[in-house]
């Protein structure tokens, strides 16, 4: 990012906060959730608001906002990338930089379950809500839905997610639900990445809210993916997760999942923004090639 671009961004936030709403109103909206390739290819960047800044072996990779924005703008400029997922601060930076025209924009909603905290499963809605997403002219909202059988806070998160699904649907907007069965291991929350766990998580997520008409699922790769994805007819997007030490294997697993009938695209964040060789354009182009 050029110094003058960063300064313009800061000046807008200091002197012209109404520029954010003006940029949202002026944004060219996409004609469809799907790109020319018939899939949804999204870049995810909502990790920092949950205190999750690590990418691979870099514990504070996402802590430099100018660098993160530079990577995001580059990723969004690549052919075939037609969407982005983020919290208000990041999406508004991208709006002010003019990077969201024609893109599917999904606002991240519940970031209150901060990584590594005692209250992580109490994943409160601390970012977007359905009315603010609709007012910004965005295409949908995303919610993390972790189900810990031993943590009573789970039910409050489920109830809040169900309400958000219904509220988004009332505006005709996508509700992107990211479900996991999880457990605490040595005091830290760990997702159970098995087909059995994903089946349970997806069937719960699919039933949230007053209607499932606008619900999409955001799911990880697990062994026996075919059996897992047979648990629902809802459209699904594959998430990237942690930066893999074997990117070729990760790409192969994404490619295999994309052949399943309900899988409609990819939502990848750190794996493409902070790839092992740090070549963002090449990593993004390779992912788009899978579509």
Statement: residue 241 has pLDDT above 90:
no
Distances (CA, A) of 34 to 41, 77, 121, 237, 260: 8, 16, 32, 12, 17
CB 122 within 8 A of CB 87: no
pTM: predicted TM-score of the whole model, two decimal places: 0.96
Beta bridge partners of 178: 144
Read off the DSSP letter of residue 53: -
Q: Quickly state the pLDDT bin for 276 (edges 50, 70, 90).
A: confident
266: left (phi over 0), alpha (psi -120 to 50) or beta: beta
CA dihedral for 103, 105, 29, 205, sign (positive or negative): positive
What average pLDDT does range 42-70 have in this prediction?
95
Per residue in 137-170, pLDDT (tens digit) is 999 999 999 999 999 999 999 999 999 999 999 9
Distances (CA, A) of 174 to 35, 38, 93, 100: 16, 17, 22, 17
pLDDT of 244 reads 81
Give the fold, CATH level 3, of 3-289. TIM Barrel (3.20.20)
What is the average pLDDT score of the chain?
Answer: 96
């Amino acid at each position: 990012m050029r110094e003058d671009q960063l300064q313009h961004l800061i000046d807008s936030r200091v002197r012209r906060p109404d520029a954010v709403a003006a940029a949202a109103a002026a944004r060219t909206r996409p004609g469809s959730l799907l790109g020319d390739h018939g899939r949804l290819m999204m870049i995810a960047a909502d990790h920092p608001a949950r205190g999750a800044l690590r990418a691979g072996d870099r514990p504070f990779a996402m802590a430099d906002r100018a660098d993160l924005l530079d990577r995001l703008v580059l990723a969004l400029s690549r052919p075939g990338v037609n969407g982005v997922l983020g919290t208000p601060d990041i999406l508004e930076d991208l709006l002010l930089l003019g990077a969201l025209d024609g893109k599917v924009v999904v606002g991240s909603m519940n970031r209150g379950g901060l990584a590594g905290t005692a209250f992580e499963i109490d994943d409160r809605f601390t970012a977007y809500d359905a009315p603010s997403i609709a007012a910004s002219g965005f295409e949908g909202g995303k919610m993390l839905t972790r189900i810990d059988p031993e943590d009573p806070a789970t039910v409050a998160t489920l109830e809040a997610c169900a309400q958000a699904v219904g509220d988004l649907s009332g505006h005709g907007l996508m509700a992107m639900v990211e479900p996991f069965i999880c457990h605490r291991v040595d005091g830290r929350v760990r997702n159970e990445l098995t087909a059995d766990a994903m089946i349970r998580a997806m069937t719960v997520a699919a039933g949230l809210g007053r209607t499932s008409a606008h619900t999409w699922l955001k799911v990880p790769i697990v062994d026996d993916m075919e059996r897992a994805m047979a648990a629902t007819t809802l459209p699904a997007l594959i998430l990237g997760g942690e930066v893999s030490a074997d990117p070729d294997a990760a790409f192969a697993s994404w490619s295999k999942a994309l052949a399943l009938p309900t899988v409609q695209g990819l939502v990848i964040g750190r794996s493409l923004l902070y790839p092992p060789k740090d070549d963002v354009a090449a990593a993004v182009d390779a992912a788009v090639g899978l579509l």
